[in-house]
A and B are shown apart, each in its own frame.
Chain A
Amino acid sequence: MFFLKQHEHIQFFYKFVPMTFEQVKQILKTKTVGIAGCGGLGSNCAVSLARVGIGRLVLADFDLVEEGNLNRQFYFYDQIGMLKVAAMKQNLFRINPDVRVNTFDIRLCQSDIIEVYSKCDVIVEAFDKAEMKHMILETVHNYMPDKYLIMGVGMAGWGENNLIRSRQSDKLIICGDELNAISKDNPPLAPRVGVVANMQANAVLEILLGTNEHQVHS
């Protein structure tokens, strides 16, 4: 464990690499990001990654688009009833026709996660249920320990901007307030869900563009 002052931290670990958007795209187009779940976190994270020119997205979700999803998930009213992965693919192509998208219309279990995401450079956890979050964390830690896993934990409700944060332990990155679980009286809504989804996308870029502290250090 290193105890470093803030400026030392930056000097030793944080590598700022200035790049043009063209240079960013050159790197990103060779990369594959897996997204587990295409709800509020997954759909918004995928859209951001498609916009900046990620090469390939691997998406999995078993669900259909419902009207109640539209308060936060990146789907449209005329897509209600469609498979989320199919609707997502449509929407991503409308933003960036160059992104390659692999979709899996399945409820992911441990063996699926290993099979579906083993070729990805980074995995984004975008599940709804805590049990599923636990399952993917254990699976990646036990079977794919070299992979970065970026999780979203705590994004229900509104306001409290300053509670939303991220932290890292080795290749596990947690984004969210780690506090606000969804419930009837604390629904997930577009602003906060979008913030966390985009923090996850931002962490993906930090890893893929080589500026993540763990990567520089290792």
Chain B
Amino acid sequence: MKVILNNKEEVFDVDTLTINGLLKIKKFTFKMLVIKVNGQLIKKSDYDMATVNDGDDVMVLHLISGG
């Protein structure tokens, strides 16, 4: 499947991934993450259930301190 991940097209050799699966493949291990799929905010408790599919627009945002 092809997805847009953080504004870049990425190809994965599977048809679907859970959020946790995606985080694992991409080695995103940050603590304070925000994930949006097609504009919809995904709750942390849903990371094992919510999926990413072909054509999805995924935003993975790592919140860091400073301001």
Contact assessment for B64 and A181 in the assembled complex, using a CB-CB cutoff below 8 Å = yes
A133 close to B (CB within 8 Å) = yes
> How close is B50's CB to chain A, nearest CB, in angstroms?
15
Contact assessment for B57 and A188 in the assembled complex, using a CB-CB cutoff below 8 Å = no
Contact assessment for B39 and A155 in the assembled complex, using a CB-CB cutoff below 8 Å = no
A133 partner residues in chain B, CB cutoff 8 A: 32, 63, 65, 67
How many A residues touch B, CB cutoff 8 Å? 36
For A181, give its contact among B7, B39, B41, B66 (CB under 8 Å): B66
What number of residue pairs across chains A and B have CB atoms under 8 A from each other?
74
B22 close to A (CB within 8 Å) = no
B61 close to A (CB within 8 Å) = yes
Q: When chains A and B are docked, how far (Å) is the Cα of A116 from the Cα of B38?
A: 29
> Considering only CB atoms, which chain A residue lies closest to B6 in the complex?
A167
A53 close to B (CB within 8 Å) = no
For A153, give its contact among B38, B39, B55, B64 (CB under 8 Å): B64
B34 partner residues in chain A, CB cutoff 8 A: 134, 137
Q: On chain B, which size bracket covers the interface?
A: 20 to 34
Q: When chains A and B are docked, how far (Å) is the Cα of A37 from the Cα of B55?
A: 37
Mark contacts of B9-38 with chain A using CB atoms, 8 A cut-off: 1 yes-contact digit, 0 otherwise.
000000000000000000000001010101
Q: When chains A and B are docked, how far (Å) is the Cα of A208 from the Cα of B67?
A: 23
Contact assessment for B65 and A130 in the assembled complex, using a CB-CB cutoff below 8 Å = yes
> Considering only CB atoms, which chain A residue lies closest to B58 in the complex?
A169
Q: When chains A and B are docked, how far (Å) is the Cα of A181 from the Cα of B4?
A: 26
B4 partner residues in chain A, CB cutoff 8 A: 1
Q: When chains A and B are docked, how far (Å) is the Cα of A217 from the Cα of B35?
A: 23
Given A153-B61, A178-B61, check contact A188 B66 (CB 8 Å): yes
For A154, give its contact among B55, B57, B59, B66 (CB under 8 Å): B66
6 contacts between A and B (CB under 8 A): A37-B67, A130-B32, A138-B41, A169-B59, A178-B61, A181-B64
